[in-house]
Chain A
Amino acid sequence: MTPLLELQDLGVTYRTGEGDLQAVRGVDLTLQPGETLGIAGESGSGKSTVVAGVLRLLPKSATVTGRVLLDGEDVAAMRWGRLRAARWSEASVVFQGAMHALNPVQRVGRQIAEPLRLHTGASATEIDTRVRELLEQVDLPPAKARAYPHELSGGQKQRVMIAMALACDPRLVIADEPTTALDVIVQAQVLDLLGRLVAERGIGLVFITHDLSVLASACSRIAVMYQGRIVETGDAKDVITAPHHEHTRALAAAFPEVGDPASRYAPATSEPLPPEGERDPQQPVLLSARNLRVHFRDRTGTAVAAVDGVDLDVQRDEIVALVGQSGSGKTTLARTLLGLQQPTSGEVHHDGRPVPASASGLRDYRRHVQLVLQDPSSALNPRHTVYESVAEGPRIHRLGGNERDIVVAALEAAELRPAERYLTRLPHELSGGQRQRVVIAGALALNPSVLVADEPVASLDASVRGEILGLLLRLRRQLGLAALVITHDLGLAWNIADRVAVMFRGELVEVGPVEQVLLEPHHEYTKKLLAALPSPGPDDARYAG
């Protein structure tokens, strides 16, 4: 049987201002119909270049060597007309980041219909019927065809992308990070959907992600890419359970299994963690919320409770993970704790005193409770040097002392060493992990007692993730710095947190020590969250009970 897709010694080189960049080197892969192949790798590993290479979507600056055979036909030898006809009707792509991959000013129905109008001679009514069919296939109500992308949630947009990819019944679908940025429950739904499509229609699926645990549950074979090469390939189970290459092991370690004692209090970090000192169980409560409620009015004027009667304490020398799906109200809760959002009722206390409502009181309060955002690239002013970014806080709060000393100390504390080397750098000269460290240094410069971190590692690469989590854990152990980490990632909680608070529809449904909540969940929702975690296979019994 001719393989659906065959890459023979594929190489891609980009011409750049600083010389040639070999993005992909000597990649050999084959995919048979009805098979799911997973490609794992971080940003910069060349996996997205491979996707673009299959449909010849690479920019002009790219030189391609080797061969790409689509159903036995050499893509490079195709004439333009033939290539355009092959695009989407024979192989389609679920692009990374559905948010941006959809045209923001076109209704999604029209975008799904576009390839149909282009590649089939179907009439307008036939196309309408087909679009409805496709939307139903991805479990969306057909009425959503009239929605614009911004009116859909992340998961819904992702489904629209999948519906679009299936429009012309292609035999090959390439899914590039289709579940990244989705929360676990939606991720499980999308994975389930893709698996069903492969099984029912015998299409070939190439599944690309940096999350090995997702691949483990979705694919039969896995190839691991690193620096443009395939460093390991084999049966999914073998690659996960017995990785040979160092990088595969690093990727596997980055996404710990909840319940695995080896990864408890042990994020994948290269620097050793300081040993746990004597911990006084009776630490003072630094931040506490009492019966906190935040109501919003939606567009029809109905009140919606984003936070609905929450009681939560964060003590000194403790990391609390606040977990829940998007839409559960965890970000609103964090905003309210920081005084960025007025509560409808209830109180927030810091160090035993209610958080002041006046502007100057709030400013003083925020010195003690600092925020770390999800995406360090947008949290930093691109035109401010590292020094400026870190020094801004101390300036606003008029901290005494030598400003330069404060900045250097903060950078050192955030493990950017030697600090002098970073002072004059601009954000774009830094890697994602270094940027997040600068954000954290900016918070540390004020010598806060609590950090509130909103998805601090969600936009970072797998290998950097462990480093940042390690930093948070070290800061707690060395300085007793308390942290409230908001996340949809239960593995993160398992990695560094002491206590977990599970949020569901504005309420904390379960709060307790990590081991207790994650290993013996009581609430139905916690159980559902844990069940949605990708597991290495249906025959795996580790999550039973």
Chain B
Amino acid sequence: MTTGPTDQHAADPDERRSGTSTVRYVAGKVGGALVSLVFVVALGFFLFRMIPGDPLVTMTRERPTGPEQLAHLRERLGLDQPVWQQFLDYVGGLLQGDFGTSYMYRRPVGAMIAERVWPTLLLVGTATALAVVLGLWLGVRAAWRRGGLFDRTQTGITLALWSMPQFWLGLLLLIATQGVFPSRGMTSVDPPNGFVMQALDVGWHLTLPCLTLLLVIYAQYMLVMRSSLLEEMGADYLRTARAKGLRDDLVRRRHAVPNALLPTMTLIFLQFGMVVSGTVTVEAVFSWPGLGLLTYEALRGPDLPVLQGVFVILAGSVIVMNLVADLLYRVVDPRVRAS
């Protein structure tokens, strides 16, 4: 009995949509994203307080420290305050763009994240872009000839790659390429001169980590595109398109794929945020100087301000990407606009 509003709609189908619904929709989605962000900040703060290990012990490991000095250090880091007070200070700082100061490096966390975020974006952006193109292309081909040789082999290979641990695949690639590609870092120890040469140098270093990430993540795009297109393939409007006399590839390109892309699009954006946080292992294997490696290093402290900062940025990127997907969906799918 969901036809109530439809009845009404049918009563006045000529009426034009007003702009207020768009504003309300966007405001609602942005509001929802903000609430999630607040939740993430709180969760990040308290979650890392539960990690075992006293940061002061790690910080003073190699120096003999007296109880007075320890108390002084505790006070300077604000660790002597009650937890809720620490939290309020933290949130107050965040609102002013201050992520706190790293325990281990004695540097502002914001600056550390800012310099580490670009390598990660370069790695994740390149890998995701390639994975989306590869995954969607393979998915469309596999679905269109469902059950064929291409479909069966591709689906098999994809599933095998998807199930591999990233660090293991990374190590495997390192061994297989036998040192053709550099195994660590983003640039050579002695970087060449000139922008073009430097870009090539970075690209050279990027190859293996990017390939590792690509091989693992393209699977989901392929599988979702495949099942999404399979669902559309029985659709009546495709029969209409065939009856019109369209060639098979036009039926696919003009009618089937645009419809099948809609559910895939949400996944692409959602996954982009997830991939950023999934780079910890790849960056650790290849010593790629990004957020993942920073997290890996900070966990040893535990360097709470750094962990919190990275956590907020990573979780925030998932939320923001999800918001972008929601808003974009409204632009792309006319049916969402109406509802």
Contact = CB atoms under 8 A, between A and B. Distances in A.
A and B bound? yes
Contacts of B334: 104-105, 148, 150-151
Given A100-B235, A298-B12, A329 B245 contact: no
Contacts of B254: 114
Given A92-B243, A115-B244, A101 B15 contact: no
A103 to B, nearest CB: 4
A101 B5 contact: no
A447 interface: no
B245 A298 contact: no
B158 to A, nearest CB: 26
Interface of B: 1, 3-5, 7-13, 15, 17-18, 20-21, 235-237, 239-247, 254-255, 258-259, 262, 332-335, 338
Contacts of A334: 1
Interface residues of A, number: 57
A150 B338 contact: yes
B338 A151 contact: yes
A236 to B, nearest CB: 27
Given A85-B245, A101-B240, A103-B255, 4 more contacts: A57-B239, A92-B243, A103-B258, A115-B244
A269 interface: no
B335 A118 contact: no
A542 interface: no
B13 A103 contact: no
Interface string A135-154: 00000000000001011111
Nearest to B258: A105
A416 B338 CA distance: 42
14 contacts: A102-B237, A104-B237, A106-B255, A114-B254, A118-B244, A150-B334, A153-B10, A299-B20, A300-B15, A301-B20, A304-B11, A306-B7, A306-B11, A328-B7
Central interface residue in B239, B243, B338, by most chain A CB within 10 Å:
B243
B253 to A, nearest CB: 12
A528 interface: no
B259 A298 contact: no
A454 B1 CA distance: 8
Contacts of A83: 245
A84 B262 CA distance: 29
B1 A95 contact: no
A-B pairs with the 4 shortest C-beta distances?
A87-B245, A327-B10, A100-B236, A148-B334
Interface string A113-133: 011001100000000000000
B7 A329 contact: yes
A545 to B, nearest CB: 31
A296 interface: yes
Given A93-B243, A153-B10, A101 B1 contact: no
A118 B1 contact: no
A152 B236 CA distance: 18
Given A304-B12, A326-B10, A84 B20 contact: no
A97 interface: yes
A306 B4 contact: yes
Contact of B236 (A95, A119, A340, A373): A95
Given A84-B247, A105-B262, A97 B1 contact: no
A89 interface: yes
Contacts of A505: 11
Given A92-B243, A153-B10, A103 B237 contact: yes
Contacts of B258: 103, 105-106
A88 B251 CA distance: 15
A55 interface: yes
Nearest to A55: B243
A332 interface: yes
A300 B236 CA distance: 33
Given A97-B236, A150-B334, A153-B13, A299 B243 contact: no
A304 B9 CA distance: 10
A331 B9 CA distance: 13
A331 B7 contact: yes
Contacts of A335: 1, 4
Contacts of A340: 1
A335 B7 CA distance: 12
B8 A89 contact: no
Contacts of A118: 244-246
Interface string A164-200: 1000000000000000000000000000000000000
Contacts of A220: none
A341 interface: yes
Nearest to A118: B245
Nearest to B333: A105
A87 B3 CA distance: 36
A330 B262 CA distance: 34
Contacts of A86: 245
Contacts of A328: 7
A252 interface: no
Given A100-B237, A304-B11, A327-B7, A105 B245 contact: no
